[in-house]
Structure 1
Amino acid sequence: MSPLLRLAMLALIVLFPGAAAARQPWPDVHTILDVGRPLGPGDYVWDTDDVPAGPARIVVDLDKRRLYVYRAGVEIGRSYIVIGPPEQPTPTGRYPILQKHADHYSSTYGRAPMPYMLRLTRGGVAIHGSPVEEDWVTHGCIGVPTAFARILFRQVKLGDEVIVTRHWLPAAYG
């Protein structure tokens, strides 16, 4: 783990001392993917080589427009995302995956396709496959490239945790 990442994690523990003992507010991250370049619209990486089995933990950083996937403290996936606009923002919070449906269509937005849907809220917010362009937005969902959505869909289970936040681990992801 880099010294900056270690310092950022220590700062979180100092700022939220009771959280670490009760319910850790973030995944225990000790290894991040070396992507080698900034991710742009439509880009993603996935690498599970030599990563132990275990539940997936997902973090969505709305400000950076990135989704991060961890298993056993190791980052295994990262994707550029699209999110809701200011008038229909993607909500922050902590959510379990409530439903998985590979061939889902929106019942609210004219049967818009939502492939590899992972429902986060009863109100319809989900992670799903989507066109991911610089100026594209959703109706509050988290859109990821469809190829990435397919991989993510196969790797997660109902109940796996998703944290939607801002400024996720700035020392590690700058």
Structure 2
Amino acid sequence: MAGKPAWWRKALWPNGKDGLKTRQGRQAAWRRLAVLGAGACATGLAMLLAFHVGQDLARSLAGGDDDAPQALPTALAEAAPAPAAQAATPPAAAAPAVQTPAADTPFVVKSVLKIDGPIRFGQFYWDESQGQAGPVVITVDLTARVLSVFRDGHEIGATAILKGYGDKPTPLGVFPITQKDATHVSNLYDAPMPWMLRLTNDGVSIHGSKVEKGYATNGCVGVPNEFAKRLFKVASLGDKVIITDGKRLGLGGSINPGA
């Protein structure tokens, strides 16, 4: 069914198809075609620009995410080590089993020296007849001011002591003997400390002293010189000295060097 020619045909061939029969008519049609194409491109670009401007305006009004982190450029992203590309960390080797040192075996008091009454300053008792070969443990009771020596659970020596007072008290606790020096002289007080058995790094020790009423030490445990000589002979490095304040041991009592 014939109808009106399309608008674009009319725009290209205003004189109808008869206008294309001449060279001038064909050239004019091509020129009109070029103009129409350029106009369509310009219209499309204008519409696209208007669309992006509208998007930017909408983001600005809505508080867009321009400050959100951006993806790294490809070159930088490739330079950054990706988690999947990192060398896998080999599993740590199982730590060797650590052996826990056996707890010090408590020494039970098997026998005590027969001492009638309190030990006076300068007095001491020594009897190794009941002390068989075995570990040595030394106990000090600051309240009673008495030091006792046990070997294999048997008391072989006991004496009255001097102790520290005021700002130089004798410390409480369990101390291993870390040094022996028969002719030691204190580098702090320039005083002789014969038969010295060191207990702490800051100078506390057991040593020979003039044990008389009214005397004191600078935190050490002072014992009569002859007693100190005998103790020095039987004591070894590592033997434990337990210093308490008011704890007394009797027959059957427990001495725990690890306490």
Would you say same fold, with TM above 0.5?
yes
- Structure 1 residues 134 and 97, CA gap change in structure 2 (3 angstroms): same
Displacement of 1:27 in angstroms is 3.6
For normalisation by structure 2, the TM-score amounts to 0.55
Q: Indicate the residue corresponding to 2:187 in structure 1.
A: 107
Query: 2:149 & 2:250 partners in 1: Cα distance?
Result: 17
Q: Indicate the residue corresponding to 2:213 in structure 1.
A: 134
The answer on whether the counterparts of 1:93 and 1:165 sit within 8 Å (CA) in structure 2 is yes
Query: Is 1:160 aligned with 2:245?
Result: no
1:161 maps to a residue whose letter is K
Computing the radius of gyration over CA atoms, which structure comes out larger, 1 or 2?
2
Q: Indicate the residue corresponding to 2:203 in structure 1.
A: 124
Query: 2:153 & 2:123 partners in 1: Cα distance?
Result: 22
Runs of 4+ in 1 over 4 A off after TM superposition: none
Q: Whose strand fraction is larger, Structure 1's or Structure 2's? A: 1
The answer on whether the counterparts of 1:55 and 1:156 sit within 8 Å (CA) in structure 2 is no
Report the 3-state secondary structure (helix = DSSP H, G, I; strand = E; otherwise coil) of the residue aligned with 1:148: helix
What are the Cα deviations for residues 73-102 of structure 1, in whole angstroms up to 9, with x where unaligned? 111100100000122100001000000000
Query: 1:171 & 1:74 partners in 2: Cα distance?
Result: 11
Report the 3-state secondary structure (helix = DSSP H, G, I; strand = E; otherwise coil) of the residue aligned with 1:149: helix
Query: 2:242 & 2:152 partners in 1: Cα distance?
Result: 16
Displacement of 1:52 in angstroms is 1.0
- Structure 1 residues 27 and 62, CA gap change in structure 2 (3 angstroms): farther
Relative contact order, higher structure (CA 8 A, sep 6+): 1
Q: Indicate the residue corresponding to 1:91 in structure 2.
A: 171
Please list every run of 5 or more consecutive structure 2 residues that lacks an aligned counterpart in the other structure.
Answer: 1-101, 252-259
Q: Indicate the residue corresponding to 1:52 in structure 2.
A: 132
Query: 1:133 & 1:60 partners in 2: Cα distance?
Result: 17
The answer on whether the counterparts of 2:112 and 2:250 sit within 8 Å (CA) in structure 1 is no
Query: 2:198 & 2:130 partners in 1: Cα distance?
Result: 29
Q: Whose helix fraction is larger, Structure 1's or Structure 2's? A: 2
Query: 2:209 & 2:172 partners in 1: Cα distance?
Result: 20
